[in-house]
Amino acid sequence: MTSINLQGKIAVVTGVSQGLGEALAKRLVQEGCQVIACDINEEGVKNVCKDLHGIEPYALDITDYSQCEKVAREVKNKYGHIDILVANAGILLSGDIQSLSSQMFQKVVNVNLVGYFNTVKAFAPMMLQQKSGSIIQINSKSGKVGSYKNGAYASSKFGGIGLTQSLALEFAEANVRVNSICPGNLLNSPLWTNSLFKQYAKNQHTTEAAIREKYINQVPLRRSCEYEDIENMMVFLASDLSSYMTGQAINVTGGQVMH
């Protein structure tokens, strides 16, 4: 019988200095993986890895392909292969069309979409060569439905699903699977508590408490998405339990999005 067994797997995760990426990387360590933890914030990712076994920090800006290639080369030299790639790093700049500059729009697309492309382009050749591997992109429910005054982010995430589906077709012959996870709102993550509640309260002309209530009320299961909800889906997609799944964008949204 197939089971979840990730012991000894080599996993690369991007965007690990805080938030969801930190939680996903630590869960992979708990599952027995050797984790290559990458982030543009070198100090932050070093801090996350401090005092932990089975995880190594790497400075990496995913918008710079040459940096992705360099880290991939180092990983290849050290470990020879990779089994799991979690493309998690992302940013969000919200605003209506008037307040969002073309530069802001490009920045979001550059990290969330071009960065995803760069990450896969650099790391996938090892998987294609060994004829196995699971690539997991952290997308969003905003990759499935438009997001109010949040056009840059939604555009970048919709594009990510197009890339996931296309790469799934391209890599299937080599037995490399590519899937996206579309989380709901992680209302207890630093993205929300340090930034989004403030941004949305400002551009929707209301209070932070009203924004929280509004977002909870949109969820049929009436709670925030939590890191563990996404970790569980990641572990499933990383393992052989999902060996017949590729090109999927899976909602983990408490029922908020159903297609």
Ligand X SMILES: NC(=O)c1ccc[n+]([C@@H]2O[C@H](COP(=O)([O-])OP(=O)(O)OC[C@H]3O[C@@H](n4cnc5c(N)ncnc54)[C@H](O)[C@@H]3O)[C@@H](O)[C@H]2O)c1
Residue 39 found at the interface with ligand X (CB under 6 A) = yes
Binding span for ligand X by CB under 6 A among 49-57, 60-68, 72-80, 166-174: 60-68
- Residue closer to ligand X, measured from CB, 25 or 168: 25
Q: What does the angle CA 138 – CA 97 – CA 220 come to, to the nearest 5 degrees?
A: 45
Out of 60, 75, 122, 163, name the contact with ligand X by CB under 6 A.
Answer: 60
Which of the residues 153, 200, 215, 227 is marked catalytic? 153
Span of 11-19, 76-84, 95-103, 126-134 interacting with ligand X by CB under 6 A: 11-19
What is the Cα–Cα distance from 55 to 17, expressed in whole angstroms? 12
Decide: is 57 part of the binding site for ligand X (CB under 6 A).
no
186 binds ligand X per the rule CB under 6 A? yes
Determine if 183 is a binding residue for ligand X (CB under 6 A): yes
**Is the sign of the CA dihedral 198, 201, 204, 210 positive or negative?**
positive
Confirm or reject binding of residue 160 to ligand X (CB under 6 A): no
Q: Is 116 a catalytic residue?
A: no
- Tokens, residue 225: 């998405």
Question: CA triplet 6, 7, 12: central angle to 5 degrees?
Answer: 65
Q: Is 152 in the site for ligand X (CB under 6 A)?
A: no
Q: Is 94 in the site for ligand X (CB under 6 A)?
A: no
Does 62 contact ligand X by CB under 6 A? yes
Q: Looking at beta carbons only, is 38 or 82 nearer to ligand X?
A: 38
**How far is 92 from 203, CA to CA, in rounded Å?**
14
Q: Which residues contact 153 (CB under 8 A, 6 or more apart)?
A: 92, 93, 94, 108, 112, 140, 142, 147
174 sits near ligand X (criterion: CB under 6 A) = no
Instruction: Give the whole-angstrom CA distance, residue 115 versus residue 60.
Output: 11
Nearest CB to ligand X, comparing residues 95 and 115: 115
Nearest approach, Cβ of 30 to ligand X (angstroms)? 18
111 binds ligand X (CB under 6 A): yes
| φ, ψ of residue 220 in degrees (nearest 5) | -55, -40
91 binds ligand X (CB under 6 A): yes
CB-wise, 192 or 200, nearer to ligand X?
192
Our CB check for ligand X shows the closer of 91 and 241 to be 91
Point out the residues that are catalytic.
Answer: 153
Contact footprint for ligand X (CB under 6 A): 14-15, 17-21, 39-41, 44, 60-63, 88-91, 111, 115, 138, 140, 183, 185-186, 189-192
